């Protein structure tokens, strides 16, 4: 024990002397000063700029490099989906934008845990473990620490691209983006004044969203939100069970819908089929060790009865994704889990090496850090493979009260409200993981940053359109093959 007479002291976060040897923490004033000082490194107005870096990598080459490690017969489906429109292309182009953000945009030097792919379609309704509907981020495949403004720019650009496809004028697009960024900034400044636990316990309950909708939307918009909420509550394992399975071979099995859903016994046969089934059964057993004790106990009450390969999303098409049908008390008590392959984040080459050996654990850790509520079955593990030493996976429920609003169905007023919800949600995720006081001080109380991001989003949406045209040309010229599915 230290000699109390020595007068040796450490300082805690309040600046007062401490006595237990805890490491010193910067005071709120010091953190705010760090944020304001970051403006010298990258002024807030500088975020408006985007000029392609000299020697910018071929965007189609970046996508092809990702595709090289994916299931070959599914890669054309990915190209087909990305070819459909600039917005669909953008959803699959997170790696392209990560390269551009790192090479051709300023960085504040302040970091947080990033979603890594924070486009507007990755914000949606989700079910909490308490069976309440919340609004949160859904996709964390690219989650990794990095400059917080990268997530803001990816969200803002997605809003512009969606609004362009709805043929809305530039003034309307700018208003939507500025609303999203303004709410992000205001919420971050509010979080800066809260205690750590208050930030951690905050979440986007749908009661709050409903109240905002009642104030801001017309009757049609309120009805559409109510329908989305009602539909989300039906999207659970039972609904997926009814939709995706059939009675076959004397039991409940996944129904084939190639190439989107293919049961494993239609993919492989003989020893190859036996090996894959053994690997996935082992994955299910080992992954349970990443769950807490009570959730591991709950999972143990289910038995696996079928496996199928499933195509998901746009950017993820071609990654190995399996759905696992489990039954509990009887054949009417289903649980459907999704086991999705996890590779390195597209942000990692431009930031820092991942602190996780297992990429599935990286995804889960990022989700748990940024998301206010989480799937009770979210976990990770890895399997061996004949082609590579191992593949990393994360697992979660296939459907758990998920609901989404399609941009094409929105009117400007509705998209502006949706954009504000996205901005608030992203601020909460960054406040949980980054230095909220420094980020808030950097942003300040004015609209300089808001205006800069609105300008950036328009310029980068132009870049995205050029890249989309390059992919369409690559398909037309036979460089890559695209299929509809």
Decide: 347 and 150 in contact? Cβ < 8 Å. Answer: yes
Residue 10 has pLDDT above 50, yes or no: no
Report which secondary-structure segment, H or E, holds 209: helix 206-216
**Which tops the pLDDT comparison, 437 or 484?**
437
Cα 4 to Cα 2: distance, rounded to the nearest angstrom = 6
Greatest C-alpha distance within the chain: 81
Residue 18 has pLDDT above 70, yes or no: no
Least-confidence region, from 46-60, 73-87, 397-411, 431-445: 397-411
**pLDDT tens digits, residue range 260-311?**
999 999 999 999 999 989 999 999 999 999 999 999 999 999 999 999 999 9
**Region for residue 297 given its phi and psi (left: phi exceeds 0; alpha: psi -120 to 50; beta: otherwise):** alpha
Give this prediction's pTM: 0.91
Residue 431 CA, chain-centre distance (Å), reads 16
**pLDDT tens digits, residue range 355-380?**
999 999 999 999 999 998 888 999 99
Residue 401 has pLDDT above 70, yes or no: no
């Amino acid at each position: 024990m230290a000699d109390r007479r020595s007068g040796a002291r450490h300082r805690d976060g309040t600046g007062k002397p401490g006595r237990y040897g805890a490491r010193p923490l910067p005071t709120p004033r010091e953190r705010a000063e760090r944020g304001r000082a970051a403006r010298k490194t990258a002024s807030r107005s500088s975020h408006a700029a985007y000029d392609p870096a000299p020697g910018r990598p071929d965007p189609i080459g970046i996508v092809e490099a990702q595709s090289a490690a994916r299931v070959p017969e599914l890669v054309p489906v990915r190209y087909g989906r990305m070819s459909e429109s600039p917005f669909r292309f953008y959803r699959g182009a997170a790696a392209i934008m990560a390269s551009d953000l790192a090479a051709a945009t300023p960085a504040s030097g302040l970091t947080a845990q990033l979603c890594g792919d924070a486009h507007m379609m990755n914000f949606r309704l989700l079910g909490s473990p308490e069976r309440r509907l919340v609004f949160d981020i859904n996709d964390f495949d690219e989650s990794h620490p990095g400059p917080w403004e990268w997530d803001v720019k990816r969200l803002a650009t997605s809003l512009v691209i969606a609004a362009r496809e709805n043929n809305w004028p530039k003034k309307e697009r700018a208003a939507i983006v500025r609303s999203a960024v303004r709410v992000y900034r205001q919420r971050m400044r509010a979080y800066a004044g809260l205690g750590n636990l208050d930030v951690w316990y905050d979440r986007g309950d749908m009661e709050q969203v409903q109240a905002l909708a009642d104030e801001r939307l017309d009757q049609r918009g309120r009805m559409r939100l109510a329908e989305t909420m009602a539909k989300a509550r039906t999207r659970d394992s039972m609904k997926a069970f009814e939709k995706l399975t059939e009675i076959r071979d004397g039991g409940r099995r996944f129904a084939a819908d190639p190439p989107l859903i293919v049961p494993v016994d239609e993919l492989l046969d003989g020893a190859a089929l036996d090996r894959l089934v053994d690997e996935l059964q082992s994955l299910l057993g080992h992954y349970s060790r990443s769950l807490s004790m009570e959730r591991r106990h709950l999972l143990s009450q289910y038995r696996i009865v079928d496996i199928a390969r499933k195509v998901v999303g746009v950017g993820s098409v071609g990654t190995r994704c399996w759905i696992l049908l489990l039954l509990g008390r009887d054949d009417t008590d289903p649980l459907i889990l999704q086991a999705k392959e996890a590779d390195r984040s597209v942000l990692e080459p431009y930031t820092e090496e991942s602190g996780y050996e297992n990429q599935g654990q990286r995804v889960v850790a990022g989700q748990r850090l940024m998301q206010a509520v989480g799937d009770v079955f979210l976990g990770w593990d890895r399997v061996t493979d004949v082609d590579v030493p191992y593949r990393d996976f994360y697992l979660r429920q296939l459907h758990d009260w998920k609901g989404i609003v399609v941009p094409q169905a929105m009117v400007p007023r509705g998209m502006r409200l949706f954009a504000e919800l996205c901005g608030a949600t992203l601020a909460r995720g960054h406040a949980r993981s980054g230095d909220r006081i420094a980020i808030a001080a950097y942003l300040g109380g004015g609209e300089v940053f808001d205006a800069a991001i609105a300008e950036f989003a328009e310029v980068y949406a132009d870049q995205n359109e050029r890249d989309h045209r390059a992919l369409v040309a690559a398909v037309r010229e036979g460089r890559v093959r695209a299929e509809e599915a």
